[in-house]
Amino acid sequence: MRFEQSEALKRLPEQFFASLVGKTQALKREGHDVINLGQGNPDQPTPDNIVKAMQQAAENPDYHKYSPFRGHSFLKEAVAKFYKREHGVDVDPETEVAVLFGTKTGLVEVSQCLLNAGDSALLPDPGYPDYMSGIALADAKPHFFPLLEKNHFLPDYDAISDEALDLSKLMFLNYPNNPTSAVATREFFDETVNVAKKHDICVVHDFAYGAIGFDGKKPTSFLESEGAKDVGIEMYTLSKTYNMAGWRVGFAVGNPSVIESLNLIQDHLYVSLFGALQEAAAEALLGDQSAVDELVETYETRRNALVKAAQSVGWDVTAPKGTFFAWFKVPDGFTSEEFADLLLNEAHVVVAPGKGFGETGEGYVRIGLLDEPERLKEAMERIGRLGVFGK
Ligand SMILES: Cc1ncc(COP(=O)(O)O)c(C=O)c1O
């Protein structure tokens, strides 16, 4: 028997990058030395203090039982201390923090929490694809706003119609930004709070790359803006800051009514995370942070190597300001998919075509800073040898 998928499942967007993964694997199977810069999987191990905390906590029989539904208080208190230490933001651990199974989960859940069928939500183009997944499951309508280079890849609220703003209940933002690697300013977030207040919009700021800012500039949290908690939440993942992508832990912080809704849906879906994982997550947030500084340094060194090597083969590129991605323009005469295919087939270098992140991503490719500087340099040299930059 073959059972029919629900309408909700049928509405889910296609996974644009699935075919890229397939082609990459095929080349590897053929024995080629493939440099894979196409995905967003951190390549470094989790810091030792966190792994040790997990090992020890796993032996504690208290954690072998169900965890409290909405997470252990010690983890929520750790989140509050982390926000105060890193961003000077006061957070009530019991009413303003929700523990998440990674933020991918939370980003999809929040649309189920706040949107009814037919409602509208604002989302960035290009943007992280999972925002759309939640909107599709809720049977809501997306209203995409473009992130343009001339606006430093920030939305231009004046260019969004009042009608679209008034109709929208929810807006997704993400800075430092995947895929454009742009960063946001405090002024931009202040303006966002005003727009959200005026049009009754709940802002969901995805702060996945909240620790990864270059040139000595620490990324700004949305919650640093006055009134932000009134109009929204921020989601923070441990995947990137602490190289814990496989552990599946993150949290949402901010507006108590949205936090309550996230907790409510999770009461019905899960019984919070394994207690030992919660203890390890608290160690990540409150323990020695030197590994985070080293990680940012590592990405910055890689960024510098990539940009220098790209420029030396004649690719006119702009240096990323944050995240572990570079967002480079494709040379004239190629679509982003054609260019990515050329790099894959002729240079055995995998990059993500910008179109996969939305229509406005056309004309760019995303390159992950997810290999050693020497490999990044080699990738650029291989691309340079294709002779596409008129040099
Ligand atoms: C912008 C952005 N948001 C959210 C996530 C999800 O992170 P996680 O589910 O590991 O917390 C990612 C992961 O790649 C991301 O790039």
Strand-pair category, 97-100 with 250-254: antiparallel
Tokens of 101: 């199974």
Coil/strand/helix, residue 253:
strand
What is the C-alpha separation between 388 and 339, in angstroms, rounded?
10
- Whole-number pLDDT of residue 16: 79
Ligand 1 centre to CA of 314 (Å) is 32
Ligand 1 centre to CA of 237 (Å) is 7
Ligand 1 centre to CA of 268 (Å) is 23
Q: Write the residue with the smallest CA distance to atom 12 of ligand 1.
A: 208
Whether the CB-CB separation of 115 and 170 falls below 8 Å is answered with yes
Pocket test for ligand 1, best of 237, 247, 277 (most atoms within 8 A of CB): 237
Q: In 10 A of CB 354, how many CB atoms?
A: 27
Angle at alpha carbon of residue 238, lines to 91 and 66, rounded to 5°: 80
- Model confidence pLDDT, tens digit, residues 84-137: 999 999 999 999 999 999 999 999 999 999 999 999 999 999 999 999 999 999
Please state whether the predicted TM-score (pTM) of the whole model is above 0.75: yes
What is the C-alpha separation between 186 and 193, in angstroms, rounded?
11
Q: Is the CB of 241 under 6 A from ligand 1?
A: no
With a cut of 50, list the residues of the chain below it in pLDDT.
391
Q: Quickly list DSSP for 287-311.
A: S--HHHHHHHHHHHHHHHHHHHHHH
What is the C-alpha separation between 241 and 294, in angstroms, rounded?
11
Tokens of 105: 């989960």
What is the C-alpha separation between 124 and 159, in angstroms, rounded?
13
Shortest-distance atom of ligand 1 to CA 238: 11
Q: Is the CB of 237 under 6 A from ligand 1?
A: yes
Shortest-distance atom of ligand 1 to CA 239: 10
Ligand 1 centre to CA of 141 (Å) is 22
Q: Give the chain's length.
A: 391
Tokens of 299: 């990405």
Ligand 1 centre to CA of 384 (Å) is 31
